[in-house]
Structure formats: C-alpha cells, structure tokens
Amino acid sequence: MIQKIDKLRKLFEHPALTITPCCFDALSAKLIEQAGFPLAFMSGFGVSASRLGLPDTGQIGLSEMVDQARNIAAVVSIPVIGDGDTGYGNAANIKRTVKAHANAGMACVMIEDQVSPKRCGHTKGKQVVERGEAENRIHAAVDARNEGAEILILARTDARAEHGLDEAVVRAQHFREIGADMTFVEAPRSIDEMQRICREVEGPKMANMLEGGLTPFLQPDELEQIGFSIATYPFTGLMASIRAMQDAFAAMRRGELPPPAMSFDELQSVIGFDEYYTEEARYQTAGKE
C-alpha cells in the first residue's frame, strides 16, 4: 500500500499532467491499468450508476462505496483515488470514512463540502456547508491520515456554484493550509477561473473534465499549461460502455445479432483467464513432484 501512496505522491508533484480515467467497478479499473494509465479515480457517479442503477444524489452509502473500493484496489497495481463524498457525518464519521478507504486499498480519498445528501458537482441543487464546518471536515480527514491511516487526502469544494469563485478559492487555500495533499475546486465556469485557481491555490490541483459539464473541456496540454496536476474523466468510459450495450441490445431486440466486438479469446485475456491458467498449472505441477 505504501508503494501506491508513494507513486501517487510523485504523480501529484510531477510537473506534467496525469490523465486519469475514472473507474466504477473492478473490471473498468483493470481496463484502465491495461491501457497503460498510472492512476485511476473511483467515480461516485459511476459507482452509483453501475452498482445501484441510480443517479449520484447521495443514495449510496459508505459500506457500499468501500466494498466497491476494495474490489477495485484488489485487481490493480496502480494507485486509485476513492470518493469519500461528504464523509458521511461528523468528524468521527469522517475519520472512519478515511480509515475505511485506506483499509480498502485506496491511495487517496476525496472529502467534499457539500450538504448531505450530496450530488454530482455539475447537476442542479447543490449546496455547501458553511466554511467552518467545511474546514473541520478536512481537519478530521487530515488527522486520520496523521494518526496512521495510510492514505492521502484530496479536499474538494463545490462553493463556486452557490457562493462564487472567491469563496471557493479561499476554501481551497484553507484546505491546503490544514494539510490536504491535493485540492479540487469543482465546476469552474471559464478558462480564466481555472487559471485563477491554479495561480492562487498552492500545491497540486485537480481538474474534472466532464463531457457536457459546466467546466470548459480542455485538451490535456492546455490543462497542464494552466497548472493542473491531474485531470479526471468521470464519464468517458461510463458513457462508452452504456452506449455500446444500448446499441448491442437494440440490435438484438430487432432480431439482429451484432458482430462480436472482440473474440472469446480476447475476452478471456482481458478478464484474466491466462494468468489463472498459469497459476493453476503451477500448482498442479508442484503437487506431482
């Protein structure tokens, strides 16, 4: 676990932008690693959609998120950032949330300042807690880390929507002063706002790239020039998988059998049958010696 944290800390501190696809289950995490990415982000939006078939409106609980995180961390060697939402309660609950994600194998956990139940950062009706409570949440998360939880802390603020960019920047600055390893101001509305965030908030910063979201969808080199350390893409893989299944099922419903997207051998390889057979043969051989 320490190795994953060290890898992630180096990515945070590296001057080059780290493109970070978002996973929502163990298979999508495995595909991200197989594609060669050094980091993945477990999307709460994606987990709520894939596990419950429900929108990201605070309907999924801590135990469900941690269970998904554990399954994801178990199948990849790259670090994964977990979504701790609002921390699920007061300071004691937040510390429990941080420790639970650390024990599940996450290299980092995100804690945010929305009112519970929270919702996707680019949808309607967002509200945030007052600044003091927001800072207490990050204090509790940082304390959990400092008291022995092997995990980094990503502090998120959604204050831009309700109180404007000035308040969001101040919160991010305070989160960093408290000890957050990375900050994330959700849903800036322009390139100028993104530049201001990177100029005025010290330390590593995250950009969230949503197709059709409120934030300008910039190319990776543009995000790097502005000053972001990582850029997450929560919808890209999810939308691709949903559309592919919709198209396949629609064709089947019409009585058409679509050509396979891959061979059965390729499918087995992606899932991990080759490694399983190798391991199986190893112990079969050992038992005959």
Mean pLDDT of the 223-228 span: 98
pLDDT in tens, 89-133: 999 999 999 999 999 999 999 999 999 877 665 666 678 999 999
Percent of the chain with pLDDT over 90: 86
pLDDT at 286: 61
- 238 Cβ partners below 8 Å, 6+ apart? 22, 24, 28, 43, 45, 46, 49, 50
Confidence of residue 289 (pLDDT cuts 50, 70, 90): low
Contact between residue 160 and residue 189 where contact means Cβ atoms under 8 Å apart:
yes
Percent of the chain with pLDDT over 70: 96
Cα gap 135→179, rounded to integer Å: 11
What is the edge-to-edge ordering of all strands in the sheet holding 80-83?
Answer: 182-185, 152-157, 108-112, 80-83, 40-42, 18-23, 230-233, 206-208
Cα gap 147→152, rounded to integer Å: 12
Mean pLDDT of the 167-181 span: 98
Q: Which fold has domain 2-242?
A: TIM Barrel (3.20.20)
pTM (two decimals): 0.93
Average pLDDT, the chain: 94
pLDDT in tens, 211-222: 988 999 999 999
